[in-house]
Each structure stands twice: as C-alpha cells, then as structure tokens.
C-alpha cells in the first residue's frame, strides 16, 4: 500500500513540471527561429531588396502595358475623289483628249461625251482610244457615253446631259466627293495632286457654284421669254426658238443665275438626280423653257433647298474673261492672258482654242506636263510619261496647291460667315 500512495503523491507535481518545461522549450525555439531569420536577413539583405525591386518592376511593366494599349489618335482626313464630266461637240475630239490627259488621276472618275453633232467617226475614234489605252484599261475609271445626246447650250438639253452623266457616275461608283463639269474648251491650271491637297481638309458638303439673285437684264431676256429646244425631239442640231406669249417671273421659288461650270458635292448631286424632294423635278420642268438654263438650274435648286443653301461657296473656281455685260460666250484666252490666269489662283480656265500656244505654256509652267502625256503626280511609277500606275493614295502637291489653297481658304471663310450665300 505504501508504494502506491507514494506514486500518487508525486503525479501532480510531475505533470506541472512537464508542462512548464514544454512551454519554455517552445518559447526558446520561436525566439531562435526569429533570431535566425533576422540574422540571415542581416547577412543577405540583397534577397529582400531584390524581392522588393522585382515587385516594383512588375508594377512598372503593368503600368507601361496599360499605356501601350491606349487607343491611337484618329486618322487624318482621307484624300478626296473627284468625278468629272468632260463634254464636247463636233471637231472637239483632240481638244477633249488633251484635256482628259491633263486632268487624269487614278483616284478619280471620268465620263466623257461627244454630242450627236459630232460625226460618228469622231465618237468611234474616242471610244477606240479609251478602250486601247493601257492605263485607262487597267484602272477602268474613264467611261464614254456611247448613246450620245443632242446638246444645245442655250437650251435645257445641256442640263439633261449633265444630269445623265451624274446618274452614270453615281451608278458606277459612289466613292467620290465632288462632281466637276467641264467642256473640251476648259483646261486645268493646277495638277490633280494640287487639287486633291487643297480640298482634303474641306467639308465634303461644300458646293462651289457662282450665283446671284440679281437677274438684271436676264430677267427680261432669259427668264420671261418662252423658248423651245429642238434638241429635245430632233436628231439634228438647231438653235432654240421663241414662243409666245412671255411669262411672268415665278413666285413659288426665287430665281438665281450664274456660271454653267461648277464643283458640286456628291450629296447635292444625289438630291438633284434622286429628288426625294420634288424641287429638282419642278425646276427642271420650269427651266425647259428658259433661255440658257445651264446658267440657272443648279443655282436655283441649291439656293431654294434650305439644307443645301448653307453649303454654297460663291465661286466656280474658273478663270473666265467676259465682256461687260457678258455675251453668250467668253473671250478665247491666249498667251497674253497668262499673267491674269496665274494671278487668278483658279483651278481651271476657259475657253481655249485647239492647241493654242498658251496651253503649251500652261503645261510647261503650271502642270509639268510633257506633250501627249498625263500631268505628273505621285501616282506615276514610270516617269516622266506616267505610263504605269503606282500608289494612287499618295500625292505630291506643288506651287499650284498653294495658289489654289489661298483662293479656296478665302472663299470658304466668307461662306462660313454666311457672306455672299444665296443673295
């Protein structure tokens, strides 16, 4: 009994002592571990610094990646495209061919027309030249109206022919910005690279069309007489004739007059051709009996349509030498007019006789064009004759771009301020 009692007597102190020893041992181990870690860090501080540096570098890389993924700035304005109508009549084949070459650029669209007064041989020769031309066949942006129209300048048939060409251009390619109508007697004063450059930053809605509502002598001599154009129903060309009685000036719309040559926006051309408002059709019927309707139809449409009246720039971008008061046709320009031609800063001039020496001077001094070739541009990959098409999205503006830009900037500023618009 005695040994058993002795064992029970020392059990409790033994348990307490064991717990205390265990606690002391654990505490010692923890302190030693902390001390060891601190000692290691003090000996190899580069480890912790490297970890911190790597963390900061990671944050920098992430920040840099975020900056690199920022969307790029929007691209600049695209280069504009022009759609031309170049028209002629009997004896104009060579003039038209020269003007077409002086105007050509692969970005643009071209419709050419020799009217029914031109003999079939001339129209056939023009069609053959276009079909067999290396560049025209490759780019396919020159189209000839094979079913020719009869055109009388003082009658509505010229307006009808212009609208016909516009419809063809819209059907063939809508990717153009401005329509320009020229005759075989017109000639460019700037390269197409110059023209493209000067128009690049302009609103694509602008319409360059000379106009005024001050009819003056035209009210009694053009608006009030009733005329009939035989070109509407005859297969041979003859002048207009007058009918009776005279008519009063209209009150449903306001008449405007101006130049028959213009630079019109695609949106306005669509309005005239498609006519979702009835105004273009109404005015077309009215101008059927109007003397020299090409000098009034488009002006009256644009200025009586509120959505387009604010887009008008009062200039045709032509240099034309007129009598005072103007006669039916302007002076034919010659070598003596060269200084005035250059000082005009215009894009085009008219009218010129066939192969007048002034055209050679314009080719040499303003266009850099060799005889019979295209006007050089950045698109030419085979210089100087431009027989091969390179990059048509590149331009190389020259001095003509600065001249034209001065004129256009001044005109657009006036239009932006509402000056000289449809008044």
Give residue for tokens 């003039």: 95
Per-residue pLDDT at 68 exceeds 70: no
pLDDT band at 19; cut points 50, 70, 90? low
Q: Which H/E stretch holds residue 115?
A: none
Fold of 82-416: Spore Coat Polysaccharide Biosynthesis Protein SpsA; Chain A (3.90.550)
- Give the span between the Cα atoms of 360 and 353, in whole angstroms: 12
Q: What is the DSSP string of 51-97?
A: HHHHHHHHHHHHHHHHHHTSPPPPP-PPPP-EEEEEEE-TT-HHHHH
* 88 alpha-carbon distance from chain centroid: 26
* Of 384, 335, 330, residue with least CA distance to 355: 335
Token pair, residue 294, equals 């090409």
In this structure, how many other beta carbons lie within 10 angstroms of the beta carbon of residue 420? 15
Higher pLDDT pick, 72 / 47? 72
Rounded to the nearest 10°, the torsion over CA 77, 276, 316, 380 is 40
Please report the pLDDT score of residue 384 as a whole number: 65
Which segments of 102-251 are extended strands (E)?
Answer: 109-114, 142-144, 178-183, 187-188, 207-208, 226-228, 241-243
Give mean pLDDT, residues 173-189.
96
Please report the pLDDT score of residue 65 as a whole number: 45
Higher pLDDT pick, 280 / 50? 280
Rounded to the nearest 10°, the torsion over CA 246, 249, 251, 257 is 140
pLDDT band at 24; cut points 50, 70, 90? very low
Under 8 Å between Cβ of 89 and 151: yes
Higher pLDDT pick, 111 / 328? 111
Per-residue pLDDT at 37 exceeds 50: no
Picking from 65-74, 112-121, 196-205, which range would have the lowest pLDDT averaged per residue?
A: 65-74
Token pair, residue 232, equals 């509407």
Q: What percent of the chain has pLDDT above 90?
A: 73
* Of 86, 318, 104, residue with least CA distance to 184: 86
Round the average pLDDT of the chain to a whole number and report it.
Answer: 87
CA atoms within 13 A on the CB side of 327: 7
User: pLDDT digit string (tens) for 338-382?
Assistant: 999 999 999 999 999 999 999 999 999 999 998 789 999 999 987
| Radius of gyration over every alpha carbon of the chain, rounded to an integer in angstroms | 40
Under 8 Å between Cβ of 292 and 244: no
Token pair, residue 297, equals 């139809």
> Phi and psi at residue 419, in whole multiples of 5°?
-90, 140
User: pLDDT digit string (tens) for 87-98?
Assistant: 999 999 999 999
Q: Please calculate the CA angle 26-29-31 and round it to the nearest 5 degrees.
A: 110
CA atoms within 13 A on the CB side of 33: 6
- Give the span between the Cα atoms of 11 and 305, in whole angstroms: 115
Per-residue pLDDT at 408 exceeds 60: yes
- Classify residue 385 by its DSSP letter: T
Per-residue pLDDT at 224 exceeds 60: yes
pTM: 0.82
């Amino acid at each position: 009994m005695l040994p058993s009692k002795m064992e029970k007597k020392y059990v409790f102190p033994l348990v307490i002592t064991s717990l205390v020893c265990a606690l002391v041992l654990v505490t010692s181990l923890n302190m030693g571990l902390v001390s060891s870690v601190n000692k290691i860090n003090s000996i190899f501080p580069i480890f912790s610094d490297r970890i911190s540096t790597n963390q900061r570098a990671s944050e920098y890389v992430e920040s840099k990646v975020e900056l690199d993924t920022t969307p790029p700035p929007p691209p600049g304005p695209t280069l504009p495209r022009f759609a031309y109508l170049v028209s002629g009549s009997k004896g104009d084949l060579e003039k038209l061919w020269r003007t077409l070459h002086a105007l050509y650029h692969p970005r643009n669209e071209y419709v050419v027309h020799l009217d029914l007064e031109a003999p079939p041989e001339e129209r056939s020769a023009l069609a053959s030249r276009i079909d067999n031309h290396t560049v025209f066949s490759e780019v396919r942006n020159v189209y000839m109206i094979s079913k020719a129209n009869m055109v009388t300048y003082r009658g509505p048939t010229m307006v009808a022919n212009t609208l016909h060409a516009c419809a063809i251009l819209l059907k063939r390619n809508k990717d153009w910005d401005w329509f320009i109508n020229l005759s075989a007697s017109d000639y460019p004063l700037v390269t197409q690279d110059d023209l493209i450059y000067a128009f690049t930053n302009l609103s694509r809605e602008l319409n360059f069309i000379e106009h005024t509502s001050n009819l003056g002598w035209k009210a009694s001599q053009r608006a009030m007489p009733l005329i009939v154009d035989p070109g509407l129903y005859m297969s041979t060309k003859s002048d207009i004739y007058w009918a009776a009685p005279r008519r009063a000036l209209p009150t449903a719309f306001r008449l405007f007059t101006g130049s028959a040559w213009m630079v019109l926006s695609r949106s306005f051309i669509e309005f005239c051709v498609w006519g979702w408002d009835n105004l273009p059709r109404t005015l077309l019927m009215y101008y059927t009996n109007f003397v020299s309707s090409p000098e009034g139809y488009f002006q009256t449409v644009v200025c009586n349509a509120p959505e387009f009246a604010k887009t008008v720039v009062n200039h045709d971008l032509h240099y034309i030498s007129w009598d005072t008061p103007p006669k039916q046709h302007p002076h034919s320009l010659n070598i003596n007019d060269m200084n005035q031609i250059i000082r005009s800063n215009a894009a085009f001039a008219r009218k010129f006789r066939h192969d007048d020496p002034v055209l050679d001077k314009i080719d040499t001094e303003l266009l850099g064009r060799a005889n019979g070739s295209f006007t050089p541009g950045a698109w030419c990959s085979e210089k100087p004759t431009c027989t091969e098409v390179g990059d048509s999205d590149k331009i190389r503006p020259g001095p003509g771009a600065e001249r034209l830009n001065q004129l256009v900037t001044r005109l657009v500023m006036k239009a932006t301020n509402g000056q000289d618009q449809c008044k």
